[in-house]
Structure 1
Amino acid sequence: METKNMYPDPDPDTITIDTLVLEEMVKQERTKEITELHSLSKKTCNLHADLLYYRHATSAMGSSCYELWKRILTQVGGSPNAWRELGLHLGIEPNKLNYIMYSVQEDHVDMVLKVFRQNENATIDKIIDAFIKMKRYDILKSMEEPLCKIAQFFNKDDSGYQSKSSGQREVVRPKNIPNNLPAALSNKVVSQDKEPKKPKQPALKIPPTPNVPIVNDSPIFFLTYTQDGFPTAVNIQEYVENWTEIPNVQVITLNNKREELYQNPEKFIREYFEKADIIIPIITPGYLEEIKSHNPTVPNTSDNLDHKYVNFIYNLIVNNYIHASGCLNKKVRSVLPQNANVDLFRQITMYPDLMPWTYETNFDAQFQAFLKFQQQ
């Protein structure tokens, strides 16, 4: 019996036409996608790059800012020398990029963003334009979701927020976002041609803290952490700034007191250690590794002052715990980041002087309660 061919031979002309149509559809879709990515620049021309470093674990905007920062670091860091190309497109001088290359141990992409955001006009659209010039639409596509979420907090429409008074966009720049940069990369370095201010030089008879007197009426938190604890340190400063029941709490970090610290680091740290109501070690793998592997014969040359003096502060904690308080921990309250893993819990049990600890997510309630108890 003759069997009918249910699947006739394909027509070569039809295949060619269908392929061309499919290619044209793909091309149109790609063009539309690239156009949408270009429009991100327009949406973010009034958002300062400081927003990349805004941290607030309990807010949607804080989470979106962190996610955007993380995606930029992950995507750019995955391509060799993409960080340098990004820096050049952002107008960073080649000598500063060379310094990052050869003298900085921190993430190079992160350092490029920190150098860039020192400028008042360092808006996020310039970062987007840099990726467009680099033809890195893969990076832009990764940034699109968190970037649109951030833009929605400030923009009324796709053209950006319009000021009613001036008719111009207002640059959104959050306050008090620290930027810990080595002196060689900072725009605030005093020129050698100008004579430095002499009042900052140590004298024979000088108060313990010459330029910033400590106000004893205000509670003081003294943070100590390594580089991987920096995001949590920023979050803690944000939490405290939003406190209403206990206002005017000072949060001390060494990088924020860089000028006073340089005159006599050990003296400065000892005085603030004594004055502080609570010493707050931020427990991370880097922190535990630093205090475990300390070798007094090898100096710590880190440009991050908080990281550099972790061991010095930890020795003060141990002495206070053993000798001053008789193994009663009345001053030190450790914080574990919200992403802490089980291994970190196991390791911290080996350090009774760092107990008790508090989750970062419980910081507000527990530290306000502890501070109130101390003040009774």
Structure 2
Amino acid sequence: MTEVQSDYADTDTISVDTLVLEQMVQKERAKEITELQSLSKKVCFLHTNLLYYRHATSAMGSACYQLWVTLLKKVGGTRNGWRELGYSLGLSQDDLNYIMHSVNEDPVDVVLEVFRQNDNATIDKILDALTKLERYDILKSIEKPLCEIAQYFNKDDSGYQSKSTGDSVKREIVTIKLPCRLPAPLSKKVIIDHKDPKKPKQLRKAATTDEPIVNDNPILFLTYSQDGFPTALNIQEYVANWLDIPDVQVITLNNRREELYQNPEKFIREYFEKADIIIPIITTGYIEQIRSHNPAVPNTSDNLDHKYVNFIYNLIVNHYIHASGCLNKRVRSVLPQNANADLLRSIVMYPDLMPWTYETNFDEQFKAFLKK
């Protein structure tokens, strides 16, 4: 072999050497692909809901977030990647068309949201879809967080094993309860009429602004600019995992898009009044929005939460000055995990946005606020 490698003057020898290298590369590639394909076995009992578990101070929450954000980045980095993934996961053509023409959020995220409505929407089905699409680059990029998540549930005493049949053991699907943030046309959630169980199931209807808003449960009203969306998403997940304060409603305008369109100002004013806590998410974009507000220049953003930042901020100012006499009892701002010193200096200039807390302390602080 040494003689073959040293005889570079012989073109036939070079061809043989190249062939050997190519075979070695193909062998290694085949081995890597086999290992990536085996990833689905690790998570075949984990529901896709876990992708949306958020807890800023836990390793598992970090792994879930990393898996979610990597999928969005990698799938979204390919033209029509979201559509191919959605088709492979069984989304209907009507759903895919609606996402393309009527949804302004990240289409990859919406595809995952639609898919996770299925009780059997386990993570391995996403991996199988990526394998079918031969997206081994994506599988490789999510391998680490995927294995980190799986290890939390691969324990004999985890409590997630069901009764065995023969020699095989079927594990129950591990999931968490999360709210549906999809618009009505994409929501597959159904309700059952318990008075008449035989009555056909119907899609849950969204409340209209003409109906009175019942404040049976605590309400948190988020307001944020475009760069505050990740933190808004995290907050919704934090609240969804509260067990000691259940059924807290988290209101965002994008999640109530169809209701908002009927009468935006009325909808916002009503929920502003009903909310227990108004939560501005303070980012660079948010500060820029409230500083540069010019009534003569309409905000044409498709992101409704971003579009109405100034409208809601004016409500905050009026409430702070006129309703509460400069006593801030309902506004509690949140700064993202990556907030810098400039942002801290900026918020000091706005007493109506005080007090504030870091996202990492959200659970502790806001539970305390609601229990007062």
TM value normalised by structure 2: 0.76
Residue 194 of structure 2 corresponds to which residue in structure 1?
none
Instruction: Show the 5 A alignment for 1:267-346.
Output: 269-288=268-287, 291=290, 292-293=292-293, 298=298, 302=302, 310-346=309-345
Query: Alpha carbons of 1:258 and 1:144: their partners in 2 closer, same or farther (altered >3 Å)?
Result: same
Residue 121 of structure 2 corresponds to which residue in structure 1?
122
- SS at structure 1 position matched to 2:117: coil
Query: Alpha carbons of 1:19 and 1:305: their partners in 2 closer, same or farther (altered >3 Å)?
Result: closer
Deviation at 1:25, TM superposition (A): 2.6
For 1:38 and 1:283, how far apart are their aligned partners in 2?
Answer: 42
2:173 equivalent to 1:171: yes
Deviation at 1:233, TM superposition (A): 3.4
Residue 102 of structure 1 corresponds to which residue in structure 2?
101
Deviation at 1:61, TM superposition (A): 1.1
Residue 52 of structure 1 corresponds to which residue in structure 2?
51
Deviation digits for residues 72-102 of structure 1, max 9, x if unmatched? 1111122112221111111122232223223
5+ residue gaps in structure 2? 1-5, 192-199
5+ residue gaps in structure 1? 1-7
- SS at structure 2 position matched to 1:145: helix
For 2:234 and 2:145, how far apart are their aligned partners in 1?
Answer: 19
Deviation at 1:195, TM superposition (A): 9.6
Considering only aligned residues, what root-mean-square deviation do their CA atoms show, in Å? Answer: 4.0
Deviation at 1:365, TM superposition (A): 4.3
Query: Alpha carbons of 1:194 and 1:150: their partners in 2 closer, same or farther (altered >3 Å)?
Result: closer
Contact 1:77 1:109 in 2 (8 A): yes
Deviation at 1:146, TM superposition (A): 0.6
- SS at structure 1 position matched to 2:278: strand
Query: Alpha carbons of 1:259 and 1:96: their partners in 2 closer, same or farther (altered >3 Å)?
Result: closer
Instruction: Show the 5 A alignment for 1:1-376.
Output: 12=10, 18-156=17-155, 162-164=161-163, 167-176=169-178, 178-188=179-189, 208-209=212-213, 212-214=214-216, 221-226=220-225, 228-237=227-236, 239=238, 247=245, 250-254=248-252, 269-288=268-287, 291=290, 292-293=292-293, 298=298, 302=302, 310-367=309-366, 375=372
Runs of 4+ in 1 over 6 A off after TM superposition: 193-203, 241-244, 255-265
For 1:195 and 1:9, how far apart are their aligned partners in 2?
Answer: 76
Contact 2:71 2:138 in 1 (8 A): yes
Deviation at 1:65, TM superposition (A): 0.7
- SS at structure 2 position matched to 1:154: coil
Deviation at 1:180, TM superposition (A): 1.9
Report the count of equivalent residues.
350
Query: Alpha carbons of 1:164 and 1:84: their partners in 2 closer, same or farther (altered >3 Å)?
Result: same
Deviation digits for residues 296-328 of structure 1, max 9, x if unmatched? 8858785x7655654443222111112123333
Query: Alpha carbons of 1:30 and 1:50: their partners in 2 closer, same or farther (altered >3 Å)?
Result: same
Deviation at 1:364, TM superposition (A): 3.9
For 1:356 and 1:274, how far apart are their aligned partners in 2?
Answer: 19
Contact 1:183 1:189 in 2 (8 A): no
Query: Alpha carbons of 1:25 and 1:273: their partners in 2 closer, same or farther (altered >3 Å)?
Result: same
Contact 2:52 2:237 in 1 (8 A): no
Residue 3 of structure 2 corresponds to which residue in structure 1?
none
Deviation at 1:366, TM superposition (A): 4.1
Residue 4 of structure 1 corresponds to which residue in structure 2?
none
For 2:53 and 2:62, how far apart are their aligned partners in 1?
Answer: 9
Query: Alpha carbons of 1:30 and 1:194: their partners in 2 closer, same or farther (altered >3 Å)?
Result: closer
- SS at structure 2 position matched to 1:26: helix
Deviation digits for residues 107-146 of structure 1, max 9, x if unmatched? 2222221222222222211111111111111111001111
- Residue type at the aligned position of 1:131: L
